[in-house]
Structure 1
């Protein structure tokens, strides 16, 4: 996610793990800015992800995909289908960040192949230059090693953004695997990554589970955007709330 694309607000995305074309549409109707199609975890395969990307309007700058590795073959397919950002997980070195940039960017910045894609995907005088501007190379830092090597990762030419995975980061510090940390080493890592990314003109995002936590990070200026929730977790919460509401209503009726 590039700073020029951020505007005055803080974009809010969600993680999609199931191969359903309708979910991004429902999320957009609710007010979400975009989606991170998760090919690393969940049930999404490459074919389904490419189809979902083609169902999302081309002008949506926040149609992202998280891959399992910086392997250029699936990244190329996702980009040609309309992905506007590629998230590479567990980046812990400059060489891994360089591999991501190479797969996501056209020459001379990277080595992305120029081939058939969605019509008018990158409008402009130079298709390749417009494509590089439109696509964000996003390194996910989610380990203590990644934080320790943040300077070499973030300074990689062509890297646009860093995305924090707080649960895995917590585990790497010997903590429970959860997010939304208010203090401790994960919170300190967020503040440190804010300093490093700001110094290099790179944006910073993070996965959040609670809207209140995300709002606090935005207010403190610690992140530029967030992935707020996972489709299956959100569904589980809605299911639980619905059944709890039914049980409460039945209890109220039985005592009246």
Structure 2
């Protein structure tokens, strides 16, 4: 069966490094992601337009390169979970979660009975189409399918103990920028209120034995400042921002070399 590299890294006590994917899908993208050393890819359906067909192809190509594909759905799109998992995603990320009930709803659709109520769709590409008994495949899928919620508001922070305690939940991902907006620190994801909220959430998630992750951290220094937290997974950036920065840097290098403004 196909390994979940992200999960393996976290279980080894390492921080799994992820890249956000929002640009139009291309066949070479998974190769670049894998060669750069990323462990997982954050396929964003909340803020980007990726067709179901392209998403399935991306998931398959990423898995074949040893990169774990996770899909962030939009709030209110839980009806898409089954088809996304059966198309090859190895986990689902649900944004803007503020209650334990919302986390329970995600787990129910990501896990088979008795933990959840995911419908059986056969030996999907998620596992590499192994020819094994259905019960064995369901058990393997439950062990390697990640159900992750995002904490991005004051309400989510206030309810984090109940959210992190939901049976079957695999992890909590802090949305650093959106959290700072909700806490009134617009444009300051390293502000004091946001920092305190992240520390509170991280400690609760660590204590509950769930995987804790951060998205939207402005710099490695920001992460190092969060002392005492076990950070299991990190979204290192979004492809369009990295691409734009690289293009600008290359253009500036050549303008300077050629002596042009």
Instruction: Tell me if TM exceeds 0.5.
Output: yes
Helix, strand or coil for the counterpart of 1:176? Answer: coil
- Structure 1 unaligned runs (5+)? none
TM superposition score normalised by structure 1: 0.88
Q: Which moved more, 1:97-106 or 1:220-229?
A: 220-229
Distance 2:156 2:8 in 1: 22
Q: Alpha carbons of 1:193 and 1:3: their partners in 2 closer, same or farther (altered >3 Å)?
A: farther
How far does residue 12 in structure 1 lie from its aligned partner after superposition? 0.4
More displaced 10-residue stretch of structure 1: 76-85 or 94-103 = 76-85
- Contact 1:50-1:77 at 8 Å conserved across structures: no
| Gap change, CA 1:127 and 1:178, over 3 Å in 2 | farther
Query: Which blocks of at least 5 consecutive residues in structure 2 are unaligned?
Result: 1-5
Contact (CA 8 Å) 1:46, 1:74: kept in 2 or not?
no
Secondary structure at the counterpart of residue 138 of structure 1: strand
Counterpart residue number, 1:32: 38
> What pairs up with 1:36-115 in 2 under 5 angstroms?
36-57=42-63, 60=66, 62-69=68-75, 71-115=77-121
TM-score, length basis structure 2: 0.86
Aligned counterpart for 1:216 among listed residues 217, 221, 224: 224
The answer to whether the aligner puts 1:191 opposite 2:196 as a matched pair is no
Q: Does the C-alpha gap of structure 1 residues 86 and 60 become closer, same or farther in structure 2, counting only changes over 3 Å? A: farther
Quote how far apart the aligned CAs of 1:210 are: 4.7
Contact 1:2 1:160 in 2 (8 A): no
Q: Tell me, in whole angstroms, the C-alpha distance in 2 between the residues paired with 1:138 and 1:196.
A: 15
Figure out how many residues of one structure are paired with residues of the other and give that number.
Answer: 251
Measure the CA separation in 2 of the matches of 1:119 and 1:11.
19
More deviation, 124-133/160-169:
124-133
Q: What's the counterpart of residue 15 of structure 2?
A: 10
SS at match of 1:193: helix
What secondary structure is seen at the aligned counterpart in 1 of 2:63?
coil
Deviation at 1:27, TM superposition (A): 1.4
2:243 pairs with 1:235: yes
- RMSD value, Cα: 2.5
Tell me how far apart the structure 2 counterparts of residues 164 and 73 of structure 1 sit (CA, whole Å): 23
Summarize deviations over 1:141-186 as a string: whole Å, max 9, x none. Answer: 011110011011111111010001011100001111454x1x5011
Q: What is residue 167 of structure 1 aligned with on the other side?
A: 177
- What is the aligned counterpart of 2:148 among 133, 138, 158? 138
Q: How big is each residue's C-alpha offset from its partner over 1:73-119, in whole Å with a ceiling of 9 and x where there is no partner?
A: 32111111221111000000111101110111111111111113228
After TM superposition, the structure 1 stretch with the greater mean CA deviation from structure 2, 7-16 or 164-173, is 7-16
